[in-house]
Amino acid sequence: MAYCGRFAPTPSGPLHFGSLIAALGSYLDAKAHAGRWLVRIEDVDKPRAQDAAADTILMQLEQHGLHWDGEVIKQSQRDDLYQHYLQRLHTAGLTYRCDCSRRQIKANGLYYSGYCRHRSNVSEPYAIRFCNDQAELHFTDRYQGRVDLEPAFAREDFVLKRRDQLYAYQLAVVVDDIEQGVTDIVRGSDLLLPSSWQLSLWQQFTQQQPRLMHLPLALDPQGRKLSKQNHAPALDSSRISENLFQALQFLTLEPDAALRHEPAAIILEWALQRWSVSEFF
């Protein structure tokens, strides 16, 4: 299949340096494989989403020369599609209702036990969980190599639709990737472990599995990943070339010092050639 990659930020704030690394890595990998690079706004968690942040993110990508292919879709506008796929799982007998609170689950162990699988008296409000009977216990990642999951985590019956009636990220991301024809997922390693759940869902809908690459995370001085929750500073739009240069350094592409002051287009042209002969390709 022709390569199709994507960058899928959450619009809870502007892009920071860690976001740029994920965006740049996915962009370079797509273009090095002569593929398409999509941008999707992952605002399925509607209370956290900010319309202004989505606009800012798209502007930041364009400022850094990261131009996407096709239409930008928003998860908040795709509830009917997620319900369609959820109904397919329900028809196949792969879902059940669960009214357990987070507090109850935590009191009974680190992972959800499947307590509600065979209960008939589940009360509202309830979540809908996936019967994860064919869990992916290991998979191959293009950067991390073989990834082995803790069986209790991999086999957990994860949530597909939340108690507040919002669709869960695990369902939405798989549905969108399948519907958009995504073949390759390049993102940060904070999403490495949930990939096993997502692959378990993929196999219910299609035989075609995505290739995965989980890049290292940029950390703050306290050793925490750069994130909006940890108040990572937004990308400085007055330092476009420097931002790209530092991101390439983080990705170990060893950019020439002369690139530091070149326009974004020149930096990206060099980076694309370097990616095509790097260990990532």
Residue list, annotated binding site for Zn(2+): 98, 100, 112, 116
Residues annotated within a binding site for L-glutamate: 6-10, 42, 169, 187
Distances 130 to 92, 98, 101, 170, 230 between C-alpha atoms, Å? 11, 10, 16, 10, 31
Q: For residue 148, give Cα distances in angstroms to 135, 137, 140, 156.
A: 12, 6, 9, 15
Cis previous bond, 125, omega within 30: yes
Q: Which residues sit in the known binding site?
A: 6-10, 42, 98, 100, 112, 116, 169, 187, 228
What are the binding residues for ATP?
A: 228
Smallest CA-to-CA distance from 127 within 116, 135, 119, 138 is with 116
Angle of helix 264-275 relative to helix 17-32, nearest 10 degrees? 60
Tell me if 63 sits within 8 A of 237, measured CB to CB: yes
- Exposure string of 83-96, with b = 16+ CB inside 10 Å and e = fewer, is eebbeebeeeebbb
